[in-house]
Amino acid sequence: MFRVHQAHAAVVVLSTANPLRRLVTLRRVEVLTQVVVLVLALVWLKIPLDGVPMIAAIAVLAAVNLVTQWWIDKGGPPTANEVFAQMAIDVAILAVLLYFAGGPANPFVSLFLLPPTLAAAMLPARHAWAMAGLTLFAYTFLMFWNLPLPPPQGDLAQFDALLARATGGTEHAAHGSGFALHVLGMWLNFVISLGVVAFFLTRMAATLKNRERELAATREAALRNEQILSLGTLAAGAAHQLGTPLATMAVVIRELELQHGDDAELREDLLLLREQVDRCKQTISQILASTGQGRDESLCSLALDAYLQRLLDDWQVIRPHARISVTLQGEQPAPLVTAERTLEQALLNLLDNAADAHAANPEALRFAATWDSDTCRIEIFDRGPGIGREAALRLGQAFFSSKRAAHDQAGGIGIGLFLSNATIERCGGKVELFNRSDPQGGACTRVTLPLNRLKA
């Protein structure tokens, strides 16, 4: 944007942000929580659980998480089947833990809802339904096969008393400390589920927003590329048609030079005309040649300062009466660059725009370029009327000319800035236009280019 100050689900690689990273993060919380709950049950509540297989199950889950993290760091993109398999491991470990801790009587059994929720958000529909079926099977299995949850042997007197007051003593008296344990487990389960759901949904919302921004930028780029293609087609046709009249003009100028060779003033004007015609013919030849040549054929390696100086020399041939002061500063020796002709034309367009705005001012334009090993920044300062409100809103749009906005006349056809901005963005750079803070007025055109895209 112009600046003013996805086949079959089993084999398709998931296109959103890597879902395994979210699973790894959630699983770390899961492992930590399981360890804390098991320690509290065995040490504080003194529930006589069979701790060895439960500890082994948690250790297996932690090891799977480490292997998954290593695989992610290795760079392997996950498929839907692989993410489903990872979630299935979580369901299996949870089923093992609940088997040794009361099965469906355990308040943590509702954690079986999390895997289908995550699968519905991250995986295709058939995987989500498969995960729902898997968790339903695990829950149903635990209803018939499980080890009963033993009553706690620890001291829950204070928590029992609190519940007795809250329930009027009736329900608490009927269930004793087992009811207290169940209520405590439900509360802890709610805290865990709340944290996991909030974490996951906020991340999903952020991912969706980023995706929407990317899609909007892609649509804008596609529209811009369509406009550029249309302009390129028209330019190639115009270049082909202009060859004959330019050749005729060159012949006529040559005859005039021969007929009026004694008139020094006229000879100087004819020389200027011939130079301009030759420049037009050269530009047309480059346009026609570039349509059938590879990128490398249009490039040549030059030091950055020499490239910019050649650019300015070429521009002075086009605008012989324009005055410009030049400052080139940066690391020496300057890095070698291989810039396409399209970038050169983009910078020439920006110089032309500044010169047109500056035409009524006798002061020289200022061209300042600074660079380091990574970036080159070019600034073009003029003393024109500056950028008005309408121009600030529409600069960079195709067929909008700041010259018409400023002078209310057909001073330009409105593609110079559009093509310049598109070319510079394609090179990884950006264009910024803003009014100068100097009391004398004027505008500044700033171009920032990453040299890694231009270096030889």
The proportion of the chain whose per-residue pLDDT surpasses 70, expressed as a percent, equals 71
- Tell how strand 365-371 and strand 324-330 pair up: parallel
278 close to 333: Cβ distance less than 8 angstroms: no
Which residues, listed in sequence order, are joined to residue 455 by a DSSP beta bridge?
337
- Read off the pLDDT of residues 349-372 as tens digits, 9 standing for 90 and up: 888 888 887 776 777 788 999 998
What share of the chain has pLDDT > 90, as a percent? 11
184: left (phi over 0), alpha (psi -120 to 50) or beta: alpha
Per-residue pLDDT tens digits for 161-178: 544 555 554 444 444 445
Whether the predicted pLDDT of 144 surpasses 70: yes
pLDDT bracket for residue 239 (50, 70, 90): low
Tell me the C-alpha distance between 152 and 180, whole Å. 10
Which has the higher per-residue pLDDT, 412 or 140? 140
Helix (H) or strand (E) holding 329: strand 324-330
Give the separation between CA 381 and CA 360, rounded to whole angstroms. 14
**Close Cβ partners of 51 (under 8 Å, ≥ 6 residues apart):** 38, 42
pLDDT at 170: 47
CA distance 10 to 356: 60
Q: How many of the other CB atoms lie within 10 Å of CB of 275? A: 14
Q: What is residue 4's predicted lDDT score, i.e. its pLDDT?
A: 43
Residue 62 CB burial class (10 angstroms; 0-12, 13-18, ≥19): middle
pLDDT of residue 293: 44
Among 283, 186, 202, 209, which Cα is nearest to 242's? 283
Mean confidence (pLDDT) of the chain: 75
**Beta strand 443-450 pairing with 375-381:** antiparallel
Residue with tokens 């802890």: 188
Sign of CA dihedral 254, 256, 259, 261: negative
Q: What is the C-alpha to C-alpha distance for residues 149 and 106, in angstroms, rounded to an integer? A: 7
Nearest 10 degrees: Cα torsion 85, 87, 92, 95: -160
Q: Is 216 exposed, middle or buried (0-12, 13-18, 19+ CB in 10 A)?
A: exposed
Comparing 437 with 310, which gets the higher pLDDT?
Answer: 310
The token pair at 249 is: 């003009």
pLDDT class of 99 with cuts at 50, 70, 90: very high
Amino acid at 78: P
Tokens of 230: 């249309």
Separation between Cα atoms, residue 26 and residue 64, nearest integer Å: 13
